[in-house]
Structure 1
């Protein structure tokens, strides 16, 4: 079977644009040419005046609202994840609940490892938080975006400052069940 049309059939051509269609095409071309001439004339005027000047229309040099400027800076620098985690640290009581927030405080976020470090005020609360860690990581990722927090590192309470001196017995750490 050949793909050529039979000798009697003449292939149909697309209809030639007529009156109204030709006018639309001509009008569109004229508008584009006018825009190009206007833009070129505007640039020429600005070059004569010594550069760009502010006008009635918004352009890239106009002042921004503080929130918009901060959002643009965060996006340009790639700080979305650290900023989101910082927001979580500020909203910690709403995310984990008031009871848990009274005893556990977020300390730092390691962006490379995606680890959030939380310190608790007692070993009992640290154990409780370790048990709740999978649910808490899921809730944080729901709020921040999938994969932002991979691991929750739970620290117990910090011990008292080490004091060295003649009245101190060497190796004495204090009550071990409270500080570690």
Structure 2
């Protein structure tokens, strides 16, 4: 039996106990997404990365409509689904023209042809629009320090890349 007067050992979780937050979120929202035809939360959570920040500000995925209304497993040979996308009114025409690009981006993200077409639904977005973070201007003294540190690099491309990286780090 442990001595009640001895200091307690700090709790250190084992690697088996620690899970990435994405796994926990996926497990929580998977049932809701499954009702809307999504087998994974990827398309919803990664929408800005899939279609780009500009498109993500004006549209969002709503559901996947599988042919015949069936929700099949991804490993089965199935006809591609229709991705229903909610889009702000003024942006609908532009998204209609970009539909083949969006379909290709979604399919590339998943690695197979799961989406055959888009169905657009005009209306207000259900979530807050994606905001692009503002970039602060770095201190001029810090910029000079970065320029001095990379001045000895002979490869001009590498030098410029390191200069941009240093300025981005200092302005972040």
Q: Same fold (TM over 0.5)?
A: no
Per the normalisation by structure 1, the TM-score is: 0.40
Per the normalisation by structure 2, the TM-score is: 0.42
Instruction: Considering Cα pairs closer than 8 Å and 6+ residues apart, tell me whether 1 or 2 has the greater RCO.
Output: 2
